Chains A and B, each alone.
Chain A
Amino acid sequence: MKSRLLAVFQASLFAGLLLLPGAPFGADDGGLATLRGAPIPSAVPESGDALRKAIETDPLERDFTQQPPLVTHAVDNYPVTRNFNKCLDCHSWENYRKEKATKVSQTHFQGADGQDLANISPRRYFCLQCHVPQVDAKPLIANTYERATSRQ
Protein backbone atom coordinates (compact mmCIF):
# COMPACT_ATOMS: atom_id res chain seq x y z
CA MET A 1 0.00 0.00 0.00
CA LYS A 2 2.72 2.40 1.08
CA SER A 3 4.79 1.77 -2.01
CA ARG A 4 1.79 2.23 -4.30
CA LEU A 5 1.06 5.64 -2.73
CA LEU A 6 4.69 6.59 -3.20
CA ALA A 7 4.52 5.57 -6.86
CA VAL A 8 1.46 7.73 -7.42
CA PHE A 9 3.20 10.64 -5.70
CA GLN A 10 6.31 10.22 -7.83
CA ALA A 11 4.24 9.97 -11.01
CA SER A 12 2.35 13.17 -10.25
CA LEU A 13 5.59 14.95 -9.38
CA PHE A 14 7.06 13.85 -12.68
CA ALA A 15 3.99 14.99 -14.56
CA GLY A 16 4.17 18.35 -12.79
CA LEU A 17 7.83 18.76 -13.76
CA LEU A 18 6.99 17.94 -17.36
CA LEU A 19 4.35 20.65 -17.42
CA LEU A 20 6.53 23.24 -15.70
CA PRO A 21 8.75 24.55 -18.51
CA GLY A 22 5.91 24.85 -21.01
CA ALA A 23 3.49 26.20 -18.38
CA PRO A 24 0.70 27.06 -20.79
CA PHE A 25 -1.21 28.89 -18.10
CA GLY A 26 1.73 30.82 -16.61
CA ALA A 27 1.02 33.49 -14.07
CA ASP A 28 2.38 36.52 -15.94
CA ASP A 29 2.00 35.98 -19.64
CA GLY A 30 -1.67 35.01 -19.52
CA GLY A 31 -0.88 32.06 -21.76
CA LEU A 32 0.09 34.32 -24.64
CA ALA A 33 3.30 33.72 -26.59
CA THR A 34 4.70 34.70 -29.96
CA LEU A 35 5.21 32.01 -32.59
CA ARG A 36 8.84 31.77 -31.44
CA GLY A 37 7.82 31.26 -27.84
CA ALA A 38 8.60 34.70 -26.43
CA PRO A 39 6.02 35.57 -23.80
CA ILE A 40 3.60 38.42 -24.42
CA PRO A 41 2.59 40.41 -21.36
CA SER A 42 -1.03 39.74 -20.60
CA ALA A 43 -3.41 42.25 -22.00
CA VAL A 44 -5.06 44.01 -19.10
CA PRO A 45 -8.20 45.54 -20.49
CA GLU A 46 -8.17 49.30 -20.08
CA SER A 47 -11.06 50.72 -18.18
CA GLY A 48 -13.60 52.08 -20.61
CA ASP A 49 -14.31 55.00 -18.30
CA ALA A 50 -10.68 56.13 -18.33
CA LEU A 51 -10.60 55.92 -22.11
CA ARG A 52 -13.85 57.80 -22.37
CA LYS A 53 -12.48 60.59 -20.18
CA ALA A 54 -9.39 60.79 -22.36
CA ILE A 55 -11.54 61.16 -25.45
CA GLU A 56 -14.09 63.63 -24.10
CA THR A 57 -11.73 66.54 -23.44
CA ASP A 58 -11.01 69.69 -25.41
CA PRO A 59 -9.92 68.96 -28.98
CA LEU A 60 -6.20 68.12 -29.26
CA GLU A 61 -4.04 70.42 -31.35
CA ARG A 62 -3.78 69.41 -34.99
CA ASP A 63 -0.32 68.40 -36.12
CA PHE A 64 -0.40 69.33 -39.79
CA THR A 65 -2.49 71.48 -42.07
CA GLN A 66 -5.47 69.62 -43.45
CA GLN A 67 -5.33 67.05 -40.68
CA PRO A 68 -8.86 65.73 -40.24
CA PRO A 69 -10.14 67.02 -36.89
CA LEU A 70 -10.37 64.38 -34.18
CA VAL A 71 -13.59 63.13 -32.60
CA THR A 72 -14.13 64.36 -29.03
CA HIS A 73 -16.58 61.67 -27.97
CA ALA A 74 -16.74 57.89 -27.88
CA VAL A 75 -18.12 56.34 -31.05
CA ASP A 76 -18.87 52.79 -29.94
CA ASN A 77 -22.42 51.83 -30.83
CA TYR A 78 -22.55 54.66 -33.37
CA PRO A 79 -23.04 52.66 -36.55
CA VAL A 80 -21.91 53.81 -39.96
CA THR A 81 -23.49 51.31 -42.30
CA ARG A 82 -24.74 51.34 -45.84
CA ASN A 83 -28.20 52.08 -44.49
CA PHE A 84 -27.47 54.73 -41.93
CA ASN A 85 -24.70 57.00 -40.71
CA LYS A 86 -24.98 57.90 -37.04
CA CYS A 87 -22.39 60.71 -37.38
CA LEU A 88 -24.60 62.57 -39.84
CA ASP A 89 -27.43 62.30 -37.34
CA CYS A 90 -25.75 65.19 -35.49
CA HIS A 91 -23.08 66.59 -37.81
CA SER A 92 -25.03 66.99 -41.06
CA TRP A 93 -25.92 70.50 -42.14
CA GLU A 94 -29.54 69.69 -41.43
CA ASN A 95 -28.94 68.73 -37.82
CA TYR A 96 -25.79 70.38 -36.47
CA ARG A 97 -27.52 73.52 -35.15
CA LYS A 98 -29.96 71.51 -33.08
CA GLU A 99 -27.12 69.46 -31.56
CA LYS A 100 -24.65 72.36 -31.29
CA ALA A 101 -22.30 69.99 -33.13
CA THR A 102 -19.55 70.76 -35.61
CA LYS A 103 -20.89 70.71 -39.15
CA VAL A 104 -19.30 68.63 -41.86
CA SER A 105 -16.76 70.65 -43.83
CA GLN A 106 -17.86 72.17 -47.13
CA THR A 107 -14.90 70.35 -48.74
CA HIS A 108 -16.90 67.13 -48.34
CA PHE A 109 -19.57 68.34 -50.76
CA GLN A 110 -17.44 67.75 -53.82
CA GLY A 111 -18.05 64.75 -56.07
CA ALA A 112 -15.33 62.54 -57.50
CA ASP A 113 -15.07 64.75 -60.59
CA GLY A 114 -14.87 67.97 -58.62
CA GLN A 115 -18.49 68.96 -59.18
CA ASP A 116 -20.31 70.65 -56.32
CA LEU A 117 -23.06 68.56 -54.73
CA ALA A 118 -26.08 69.58 -52.69
CA ASN A 119 -25.04 67.35 -49.83
CA ILE A 120 -22.15 65.22 -48.61
CA SER A 121 -20.46 63.18 -51.32
CA PRO A 122 -20.83 59.40 -51.04
CA ARG A 123 -17.02 59.14 -51.19
CA ARG A 124 -16.90 61.06 -47.89
CA TYR A 125 -19.53 58.85 -46.29
CA PHE A 126 -17.27 56.77 -44.06
CA CYS A 127 -16.34 59.44 -41.53
CA LEU A 128 -14.28 57.19 -39.27
CA GLN A 129 -11.87 56.43 -42.08
CA CYS A 130 -10.22 59.78 -41.33
CA HIS A 131 -11.84 61.15 -38.18
CA VAL A 132 -11.00 59.03 -35.14
CA PRO A 133 -11.69 59.49 -31.43
CA GLN A 134 -8.81 61.47 -29.94
CA VAL A 135 -6.52 59.95 -27.37
CA ASP A 136 -3.09 61.11 -26.25
CA ALA A 137 -1.39 57.87 -27.29
CA LYS A 138 2.36 57.34 -27.30
CA PRO A 139 3.79 56.72 -30.79
CA LEU A 140 4.28 53.00 -31.39
CA ILE A 141 7.67 53.66 -33.01
CA ALA A 142 9.92 56.53 -31.99
CA ASN A 143 10.18 59.09 -34.78
CA THR A 144 11.45 62.57 -35.47
CA TYR A 145 8.22 64.01 -36.80
CA GLU A 146 7.67 67.62 -35.92
CA ARG A 147 4.61 69.79 -36.13
CA ALA A 148 4.39 72.16 -39.08
CA THR A 149 5.90 75.54 -38.12
CA SER A 150 2.54 77.23 -38.57
CA ARG A 151 1.10 74.90 -35.96
CA GLN A 152 3.85 75.19 -33.39
Chain B
Amino acid sequence: MKLSTLLKTLLKTLLNLLLRWRKFVLTGVVAFAAGALGVVVFDTAMEQTNTEAFCISCHEMKNTVYSEYQGSLHYTNRSGMRATCPDCHVPKEFAPKMVAKIKASNDLLHNILGTIDTPAKFEARRPKMAQSEWRRMKANDSQECRNCHDADSFDYGVQSYRSVNQHTEGLASGQTCIDCHKGITHRLPQIDQGVGSLVETGLSQDLVRPPVTPKE
Protein backbone atom coordinates (compact mmCIF):
# COMPACT_ATOMS: atom_id res chain seq x y z
CA MET B 1 0.00 0.00 0.00
CA LYS B 2 2.74 2.36 1.01
CA LEU B 3 4.86 1.41 -1.93
CA SER B 4 2.11 2.12 -4.45
CA THR B 5 1.49 5.62 -3.02
CA LEU B 6 5.19 6.29 -3.13
CA LEU B 7 5.28 5.22 -6.78
CA LYS B 8 2.23 7.34 -7.54
CA THR B 9 3.77 10.49 -6.06
CA LEU B 10 7.03 9.78 -7.84
CA LEU B 11 5.23 9.42 -11.18
CA LYS B 12 3.24 12.58 -10.53
CA THR B 13 6.31 14.67 -9.77
CA LEU B 14 8.04 13.28 -12.86
CA LEU B 15 5.04 14.13 -15.01
CA ASN B 16 4.86 17.60 -13.50
CA LEU B 17 8.53 18.13 -14.16
CA LEU B 18 8.15 16.91 -17.75
CA LEU B 19 5.22 19.25 -18.31
CA ARG B 20 7.00 22.19 -16.75
CA TRP B 21 10.22 21.58 -18.79
CA ARG B 22 8.46 20.24 -21.86
CA LYS B 23 10.12 22.76 -24.15
CA PHE B 24 13.57 21.71 -23.05
CA VAL B 25 12.68 18.03 -23.14
CA LEU B 26 11.30 18.36 -26.65
CA THR B 27 14.34 20.28 -27.79
CA GLY B 28 16.55 17.59 -26.27
CA VAL B 29 14.74 14.78 -28.04
CA VAL B 30 14.81 16.62 -31.36
CA ALA B 31 18.47 17.48 -30.94
CA PHE B 32 19.31 13.85 -30.18
CA ALA B 33 17.38 12.60 -33.21
CA ALA B 34 19.01 15.21 -35.42
CA GLY B 35 22.42 14.24 -34.07
CA ALA B 36 21.84 10.55 -34.66
CA LEU B 37 20.59 11.23 -38.18
CA GLY B 38 23.60 13.47 -38.77
CA VAL B 39 26.01 10.73 -37.72
CA VAL B 40 24.33 8.22 -40.02
CA VAL B 41 24.35 10.62 -42.98
CA PHE B 42 27.98 11.62 -42.31
CA ASP B 43 29.11 8.02 -42.01
CA THR B 44 27.26 6.97 -45.16
CA ALA B 45 28.71 9.86 -47.15
CA MET B 46 32.18 9.08 -45.80
CA GLU B 47 31.81 5.43 -46.81
CA GLN B 48 30.73 6.53 -50.28
CA THR B 49 34.01 8.39 -50.73
CA ASN B 50 35.80 5.26 -49.54
CA THR B 51 34.88 3.05 -52.47
CA GLU B 52 36.92 2.12 -55.50
CA ALA B 53 34.09 3.35 -57.74
CA PHE B 54 34.39 6.81 -56.19
CA CYS B 55 38.18 6.85 -56.57
CA ILE B 56 38.10 6.06 -60.28
CA SER B 57 35.22 8.38 -61.04
CA CYS B 58 37.98 10.84 -62.02
CA HIS B 59 39.81 9.94 -65.21
CA GLU B 60 43.07 11.09 -63.59
CA MET B 61 42.92 7.98 -61.44
CA LYS B 62 41.28 5.58 -63.84
CA ASN B 63 43.75 5.79 -66.71
CA THR B 64 46.88 5.91 -64.63
CA VAL B 65 47.24 4.47 -61.16
CA TYR B 66 44.10 2.33 -61.42
CA SER B 67 45.16 0.57 -64.62
CA GLU B 68 48.60 -0.02 -63.10
CA TYR B 69 46.97 -1.49 -60.02
CA GLN B 70 45.02 -3.90 -62.23
CA GLY B 71 48.26 -5.62 -63.16
CA SER B 72 49.44 -5.95 -59.59
CA LEU B 73 49.30 -8.67 -56.97
CA HIS B 74 46.97 -6.58 -54.85
CA TYR B 75 44.39 -6.80 -57.64
CA THR B 76 44.65 -10.45 -58.53
CA ASN B 77 46.52 -13.27 -56.83
CA ARG B 78 46.28 -16.98 -56.15
CA SER B 79 44.20 -16.63 -53.00
CA GLY B 80 41.74 -14.19 -54.57
CA MET B 81 42.12 -11.60 -51.86
CA ARG B 82 41.96 -8.06 -53.13
CA ALA B 83 42.97 -4.81 -51.54
CA THR B 84 41.16 -1.86 -53.11
CA CYS B 85 42.24 1.79 -53.14
CA PRO B 86 41.00 2.81 -49.65
CA ASP B 87 42.53 -0.29 -48.02
CA CYS B 88 45.97 1.17 -48.64
CA HIS B 89 45.34 4.88 -49.01
CA VAL B 90 42.77 5.70 -46.30
CA PRO B 91 43.52 4.98 -42.64
CA LYS B 92 40.92 2.91 -40.78
CA GLU B 93 41.17 4.83 -37.50
CA PHE B 94 38.79 7.79 -37.16
CA ALA B 95 41.14 10.73 -36.53
CA PRO B 96 43.79 9.81 -39.16
CA LYS B 97 40.94 9.06 -41.56
CA MET B 98 39.50 12.56 -41.10
CA VAL B 99 42.95 14.07 -41.62
CA ALA B 100 43.35 12.05 -44.82
CA LYS B 101 39.92 13.11 -46.07
CA ILE B 102 40.55 16.79 -45.39
CA LYS B 103 43.92 16.59 -47.13
CA ALA B 104 42.30 14.75 -50.04
CA SER B 105 39.84 17.60 -50.57
CA ASN B 106 42.83 19.36 -52.12
CA ASP B 107 42.42 16.92 -55.04
CA LEU B 108 39.15 18.67 -55.94
CA LEU B 109 41.05 21.91 -56.53
CA HIS B 110 43.63 20.18 -58.70
CA ASN B 111 40.88 18.38 -60.59
CA ILE B 112 39.46 21.78 -61.53
CA LEU B 113 42.92 23.19 -62.27
CA GLY B 114 43.67 20.13 -64.42
CA THR B 115 47.04 19.60 -62.74
CA ILE B 116 47.33 15.94 -63.81
CA ASP B 117 44.68 15.65 -66.50
CA THR B 118 46.99 14.15 -69.13
CA PRO B 119 49.33 11.13 -68.84
CA ALA B 120 52.32 13.42 -69.45
CA LYS B 121 51.27 15.82 -66.69
CA PHE B 122 50.62 12.88 -64.38
CA GLU B 123 54.07 11.45 -65.10
CA ALA B 124 55.69 14.82 -64.44
CA ARG B 125 54.01 15.04 -61.05
CA ARG B 126 54.42 11.37 -60.15
CA PRO B 127 57.65 11.83 -58.13
CA LYS B 128 56.00 14.48 -55.95
CA MET B 129 52.79 12.52 -55.42
CA ALA B 130 54.56 9.20 -54.82
CA GLN B 131 56.94 10.70 -52.30
CA SER B 132 54.15 12.34 -50.35
CA GLU B 133 52.37 8.99 -50.06
CA TRP B 134 55.62 7.24 -49.08
CA ARG B 135 56.18 9.86 -46.38
CA ARG B 136 52.67 9.31 -45.03
CA MET B 137 53.12 5.54 -44.87
CA LYS B 138 56.56 5.84 -43.34
CA ALA B 139 55.16 8.16 -40.65
CA ASN B 140 52.49 5.69 -39.55
CA ASP B 141 54.81 2.68 -39.71
CA SER B 142 53.04 1.32 -42.83
CA GLN B 143 49.85 0.87 -40.82
CA GLU B 144 47.77 0.18 -43.93
CA CYS B 145 50.10 -2.68 -44.92
CA ARG B 146 49.98 -4.02 -41.40
CA ASN B 147 46.19 -4.04 -41.37
CA CYS B 148 46.57 -7.27 -43.37
CA HIS B 149 50.26 -8.24 -43.22
CA ASP B 150 51.80 -9.00 -39.85
CA ALA B 151 55.55 -9.47 -39.67
CA ASP B 152 55.13 -11.57 -36.53
CA SER B 153 53.11 -14.04 -38.60
CA PHE B 154 55.78 -14.45 -41.28
CA ASP B 155 56.56 -18.09 -41.99
CA TYR B 156 60.18 -17.76 -42.98
CA GLY B 157 60.11 -21.43 -43.96
CA VAL B 158 58.08 -20.67 -47.05
CA GLN B 159 59.74 -17.38 -47.97
CA SER B 160 62.61 -17.47 -50.42
CA TYR B 161 66.03 -17.03 -48.88
CA ARG B 162 66.23 -13.57 -50.43
CA SER B 163 63.02 -12.52 -48.69
CA VAL B 164 64.15 -14.03 -45.41
CA ASN B 165 67.44 -12.12 -45.50
CA GLN B 166 65.86 -8.82 -46.40
CA HIS B 167 62.95 -9.13 -43.96
CA THR B 168 65.01 -10.16 -40.95
CA GLU B 169 67.70 -7.59 -41.66
CA GLY B 170 65.25 -4.78 -42.44
CA LEU B 171 62.86 -5.40 -39.58
CA ALA B 172 65.72 -5.79 -37.10
CA SER B 173 67.07 -2.41 -38.12
CA GLY B 174 63.71 -0.75 -37.55
CA GLN B 175 62.72 -0.39 -41.18
CA THR B 176 59.06 -0.42 -42.15
CA CYS B 177 57.28 -2.07 -45.11
CA ILE B 178 57.22 1.00 -47.34
CA ASP B 179 60.96 1.57 -46.95
CA CYS B 180 61.54 -1.19 -49.52
CA HIS B 181 58.13 -2.08 -50.94
CA LYS B 182 57.66 0.95 -53.15
CA GLY B 183 56.14 0.72 -56.60
CA ILE B 184 54.67 -2.72 -55.97
CA THR B 185 51.20 -1.72 -57.14
CA HIS B 186 51.70 1.51 -59.06
CA ARG B 187 54.59 2.31 -61.36
CA LEU B 188 57.59 3.94 -59.76
CA PRO B 189 58.63 7.47 -60.69
CA GLN B 190 61.96 7.79 -62.44
CA ILE B 191 64.70 6.32 -60.27
CA ASP B 192 68.34 7.13 -60.99
CA GLN B 193 70.09 3.78 -61.42
CA GLY B 194 73.06 5.30 -63.19
CA VAL B 195 71.91 4.38 -66.69
CA GLY B 196 71.53 6.92 -69.48
CA SER B 197 69.71 10.20 -69.06
CA LEU B 198 67.86 9.17 -65.88
CA VAL B 199 71.01 10.19 -64.03
CA GLU B 200 69.90 13.82 -64.30
CA THR B 201 66.16 13.45 -63.71
CA GLY B 202 65.61 10.43 -61.49
CA LEU B 203 65.10 10.20 -57.75
CA SER B 204 67.83 8.67 -55.59
CA GLN B 205 68.17 4.90 -55.63
CA ASP B 206 68.21 4.97 -51.85
CA LEU B 207 64.45 5.57 -51.93
CA VAL B 208 63.74 2.03 -53.16
CA ARG B 209 66.80 0.48 -51.57
CA PRO B 210 67.32 2.17 -48.22
CA PRO B 211 70.73 1.62 -46.65
CA VAL B 212 70.47 -0.73 -43.70
CA THR B 213 71.91 0.57 -40.46
CA PRO B 214 71.69 -2.00 -37.65
CA LYS B 215 70.04 -0.80 -34.44
CA GLU B 216 72.38 -0.13 -31.53
| Apart from the given pairs A83-B191, A88-B193, A118-B194, 10 other A-B contacts in the complex at a CB distance below 8 Å | A56-B160, A73-B162, A79-B188, A83-B189, A83-B202, A84-B183, A89-B208, A95-B209, A120-B194, A120-B195
Whether B190 sits at the interface, judged by CB under 8 Å, is yes
Tally A-B pairs: CB < 8 A: 51
Residue ranges of A at the interface with B (Cβ–Cβ < 8 Å):
48, 56, 73, 77, 79, 81-85, 88-89, 92, 94-95, 99, 118-122, 125
A contacts with B: majority SS: loop
B contacts with A: majority SS: loop
* A–B Cβ pairs within 8 angstroms, 19 of them: A56-B160, A79-B187, A81-B187, A81-B188, A82-B190, A83-B191, A84-B191, A84-B193, A85-B193, A85-B195, A88-B193, A88-B195, A94-B194, A95-B209, A99-B162, A118-B194, A119-B195, A122-B196, A125-B195
Name the one of A77, A81, A122 contacting B195, with C-beta atoms under 8 angstroms: A122
Q: Report B-chain residues with C-beta under 8 Å of the C-beta of A84.
A: 183, 187-188, 190-191, 193, 208
* Chain A proximity mask over B64-88: 1 for CB below 8 Å, otherwise 0: 0000000011000010000000000
Name the one of B73, B187, B191 contacting A77, with C-beta atoms under 8 angstroms: B73
Nearest-neighbour CB distance to chain A for B114, whole angstroms, equals 23
Nearest-neighbour CB distance to chain A for B157, whole angstroms, equals 15
